[in-house]
Structure 1
C-alpha cells in the first residue's frame, strides 16, 4: 500500500499527501534552479528529514530512559554542489538549552543521531556534519 500520493501542480511545484494522516507538503523549485523558492525544495526536504529523523531516534532513547528533550532545537544548512547538481553537505547544529547532565546518556543520543535511518540511507558522498552544542 502506498505511503504518499503526489501530484504535479505546474510551475515546478508539487504536492505530496501522507495517505494515513492526510497531511500535505508542497515543494517548489529553488530560485537558483528556475523556481520561485516559495516552499521547501525537494533537497530541503531531504535535509529536514535528516534532522527530524535524528531527533526522533534521540527522543526514543530519551523516552526509554525517562529524560526530557525539552529545549532541544537544531538548524540545518544545506550546501549544494553545482556539477552535477546535488547535495554536497548537510550541516546539522544542535542546541539544547537545558541538557541532561549524564555524559553516558549524552553520548548515547549523539551516537543515535549519527546512525538514524535517514543518516544511514543517504549516499556516503554526502557529507554529514553534525555539531552538538551541549
Structure 2
C-alpha cells in the first residue's frame, strides 16, 4: 500500500503532496483555471506517473539483461473526449538494440506497474473523517 497525503490552504490551488518517505511535490492549476501554474496539474501528475514508471521499468529490465540501452524518452498524452480517456505513450529507445530487443521492451513497457493499474478495474473509496 502507498499512502500519499495532499493538502491545500487558502492560496489558490497550490497543493502540497507528500510521500511516505518525505518527498514533496507541488501541484497547481494553470492560471486560466484560477491557479498560479507553480506545479503540475493533477492530470499532468497522472500522465507523469505513467511516463516515469515506464522509464524506470525499461531501465531496470535493460540493466538486468545487460542490454545497451543508453536512453529512454517517454512522451505521454492524456486525451479526454466523448466519455473516454486515452493515454498515448510514445517511446524513444536509444542504444544498440536489435529488433527483438526493441519488441521485448515494448512488451515490458506495457507491463509497468502504473500501466497495469490504469488498465485494470479501479475502485475509489472515499471516507469523510
Q: TM-score, normalised by structure 1?
A: 0.72
Structure 2 residue 111 is matched with structure 1 residue 110: no
Secondary structure of the residue aligned to 1:69 is: strand
Q: TM-score, normalised by structure 2?
A: 0.74
Structure 2 residue 118 is matched with structure 1 residue 122: yes
Structure 1: segments with no counterpart, 5+ residues: 126-134
CA distance in 2, matches of 1:63, 1:33: 42
Note closer, same or farther for the CA distance 1:66–1:2 as it changes in structure 2 (3 Å cut). Answer: closer
**Paired position in structure 2 for 1:128:** none
Q: Provide the aligned C-alpha RMSD in A.
A: 2.7
Aligned positions, number: 120
**Paired position in structure 2 for 1:15:** 16
Structure 2: segments with no counterpart, 5+ residues: 122-129
Structure 2 residue 90 is matched with structure 1 residue 93: yes
User: Are the aligned partners of 2:14 and 2:38 in contact in 1 as well (CA < 8 Å)?
Assistant: no
Secondary structure of the residue aligned to 2:75 is: strand
* Alignment map for 1:1-134 (pairs within 5 Å): 3-10=3-10, 11-20=12-21, 22-31=22-31, 33-81=33-81, 88-96=85-93, 98-122=94-118
Secondary structure of the residue aligned to 1:120 is: helix
